Amino acid sequence: MGCDGGTIPKRHELVKGPKKVEKVDKNAELAAKWKYCALSQEKLRRPIVACELGRLYNKDAVIEYLLDKSAERPNTEAVTHIRGTKDIKELNLTDNPEWEGERRNTKGDKYEDIHCGMFICPVVGLEMNGRHRFCYLQTCGCVFSDRALKEVKTEICHKCGDPFQDSDIIVLNGTKEEVEKLTQKMEEKRAKAKTKTKSKKSKAAESVTTSSQPKDDKQVKVAQNGELHSSEESSQSDVAGPSSSSGSSKGSKLSLSSSSSSSSSAATKRSIQEMEEKSEAFKSIFTTHSSAKRTKEQISNWVTHTPYHF
């Protein structure tokens, strides 16, 4: 049953103790954040984008996620706050001249520096490998180290020259506290954008209603003026007496007759066949001419012909 040959077992070999807590290697964690995409877990390659929380992604992976959100991916929790391409910014990175790529140690006879970064700060020259704090500007997408922004304080980008504010600076791969602050900032920004869109819509609706109101007011005023004129005319006719009333009645009759004649003339239309100034050739063009009329014997039912070729 074992223990042959005079072996003495120890306690840890017979009794199982509690499992040791696995500690995450800091070097592996830094490499995962600064060298791999936060969504697809693939190596970062240009074009590289960043979200409002400071996470790094491959642009292709983010676009594929936006096109098909139902597909299964390894880390979709890191992209739930991205609604569209407006929520990400393409980064303007500076290449590291010492970076040799994946083929730098193919033979295995050289020292491989894990902390060598693909990109550097264009002002100070620090490598973007996780040991130093880096930020990017939402206005232009240029990436700098925090040391460069603190030492050279300007309101213009060091690389492209575009103006920026302190609110446009976002930390890349920050701590939990910094990520929480960035989430609050993002929510406040989106809430302000929603209120602005609502206010614009309400202003547009108000402008439409105000533009329609003056027309209604004019119509009401015209109607009121018409009623006032009619009331004034009636009062004047009462004061003038029977002679004036008889004259006005005659005038009204004449106006009514003229209006009725004009309306009747507009309503009635002359037939072309009754026009004597038109020739018979011109009249024969229309269906009202006698030559266009047919007898019952000449009229036949509609017959269709179906061709036999296919």
Of 18-22, 30-34, 47-51, 224-228, which gets the smallest average pLDDT?
Answer: 224-228
- Res. 251: pLDDT tops 50: no
17 pLDDT tier (thresholds 50, 70, 90)? confident
Q: What are the pLDDT digits (tens) for 148-195?
A: 988 888 889 988 889 999 889 999 998 899 999 999 999 999 999 889
Looking at residue 228, its pLDDT comes to 42
Quote the CATH superfamily of domain 25-99+114-173: Zinc/RING finger domain, C3HC4 (zinc finger) (3.30.40.10)
Judge contact between 172 and 187, C-beta under 8 A.
no
27 pLDDT tier (thresholds 50, 70, 90)? confident
Can you give the pTM of this predicted structure? 0.57
**Average per-residue pLDDT for the chain:** 76
Q: Encoding tokens for residue 19?
A: 């499992």
Report in angstroms the alpha-carbon separations of 252 from 106, 236, 258, 259.
Answer: 111, 15, 10, 10
Write out the H or E segment, with its range, that includes residue 39. Answer: none
Amino acid making up residue 233: E
Q: What are the pLDDT digits (tens) for 56-85?
A: 999 999 999 999 888 888 788 889 999 999
- Res. 250: pLDDT tops 70: no
267 pLDDT tier (thresholds 50, 70, 90)? very low
Looking at residue 137, its pLDDT comes to 93
Residue 81's nearest CA partner among 187, 191, 196 is 187
**Any idea where the domains of the chain sit in the sequence?**
25-99+114-173
CA dist., res. 170 & res. 51, Å (int) = 9
